[in-house]
Amino acid sequence: MPKSASQEDIKKAYRKLAHQYHPDKQGGDEKKFKEINEAYQVLSDPNKRSRYDQFGSAFGSQGFSRQGPFDGFDFSQGFGGFRQGPFGEAQGGQNFNFEDIFDIFGDAFGGRSRAARREPEESGIGMDLRISLAISLYEAARGAKKTIQIKQDVSCRECGGSGAEKGTDLVNCSVCGGRGEVREATASFFGNITRVYICNICRGSGKVPKTNCHACKGEGKKREDKTIELKIPAGINNGEAFIVKGEGQAGFRGKKSGNLYVQVSVETDKSFRRVGNDIVYEMPIKITDAVLGAHLSVPTLDGEKEIEIPSGVQNGELLRLKGLGVHGSHKGDQIVKIKIETPRKLSGKARKLVEELAREI
């Protein structure tokens, strides 16, 4: 089903598939039925669908779960050199294969769902990877480039990913006869039912190496250390994820690689805090500057900037520096919150001046 499908199309597909796979029906599939219901819960909700369209499978079928889309997964396997993740786990990686929610409805319109073809043990498509990455507030606000190292299945250099020894050919799979799929006919109350499965020998390609590559043993891929440069999008929020296409695990015998999903954890900054696309900074000023006004230097994410303090400014008053906030979908501002400091000790002369001022005002 295309991602542009209307709510009516989704509803029709849901009804058809729910009837087809209902567990109380002979030939039903409880796991598939549950999968269809979870997908429909996301696609039928405009808010959840909007988030899914934005973040893809990283959003998760549960939408806005308190634990976040990465809850329950072990990040500690296969990766090194990362700091503590946002949920207490060591930052690392884990193999995952994500189904596109729209693909679950694919066979409602006469075809086999692409989700089934994406099962790694069947299709050979590379597994997706997820990692958690700590970044600073500045990197989240302005965007950044980060270099990471991961252990990853990459295409075998010896055979070019084909799985075949150099100088040898690929031949038709003896199990599926080169069709890439196996058909199984069964009799039921509703008549003869033919089920179609991806061939588990050739993983749907219909071809197998005549002689397996000596380096990868016919898999077409090998595990190696790989360096990846990440481009962190400006404006990303704490806990959000972005996708690096094709940087997941390599596929079986040249099949498509999976994707890399990177969830960011934004570190707390000592000076600034983020509110939407604005950056808030509390600025201490002297009482004389508050009364008389002043031109002062204020820290920003881009270094020191000058700000005009109007005379008579009040404690807690907010001043705005345009365009110095987060550079996301639109540029936010830096909000300067005034904090007037009252002197704790006064000299005799200073006290007399304040008393004289008090009589005047």
Q: What one-character-per-residue DSSP string does 208-258 give?
A: EESSB-TTTTTSSEEEEEEEEEEEEPTTPPTT-EEEETT-SPPPGGGPPP-
Task: Confirm whether 7-168+211-266 and 272-360 share one CATH topology.
Answer: yes
How confident is residue 26, by pLDDT bands cut at 50, 70 and 90?
Answer: low
Instruction: Pick 253 or 35 by higher pLDDT.
Output: 253
Homologous superfamily assigned to 272-360 = Urease metallochaperone UreE, N-terminal domain (2.60.260.20)
What pTM value is reported for the model? 0.60
Question: Residue 103: which pLDDT band, with cuts at 50, 70 and 90?
Answer: low
Q: How confident is the model at residue 33 (pLDDT cuts 50, 70, 90)?
A: confident
Q: How confident is the model at residue 95 (pLDDT cuts 50, 70, 90)?
A: very low
The strand ranges marked E within 176-215 are 181-188, 191-198, 207-209
Amino acid in position 169: D
Task: Give the count of beta carbons closer than 10 Å to the beta carbon of residue 149.
Answer: 13
With a cut of 50, say whether residue 115 has pLDDT above it: no
Residue 196: per-residue pLDDT: 85
Check whether domain 7-168+211-266 has CATH 1.20.210.10, yes or no: no
Residue partners of 337: CB distance under 8 A and separation at least 6: 280, 281, 282, 283, 316, 317, 318
Domain ranges, ordered by start, for the chain: 7-168+211-266, 272-360
| pLDDT over threshold 50, residue 78 | no
Contact status, residue 58 vs residue 96, Cβ threshold 8 Å:
no
Q: Tell me the percentage of the chain whose pLDDT exceeds 70.
A: 76
pLDDT for the residue numbered 170 = 94
The per-residue pLDDT for 54 is 54
pLDDT per position as a tens digit, 198-243 = 888 898 899 999 999 999 999 999 999 999 999 999 999 999 999 9
206 contacts: CB under 8 Å, gap ≥ 6: 172, 173, 176, 178, 179, 180, 199
Strand segments, DSSP code E, in 63-162 are 93-96, 128-135, 144-155
Q: How far apart are the C-alpha atoms of 98 and 119, rounded to whole Å?
A: 9
Lowest mean pLDDT among 63-67, 108-112, 127-131, 271-275: 63-67
- Sign of the torsion angle spanned by Cα atoms 32, 100, 228, 89: negative
Confidence of residue 167 (pLDDT cuts 50, 70, 90): very high
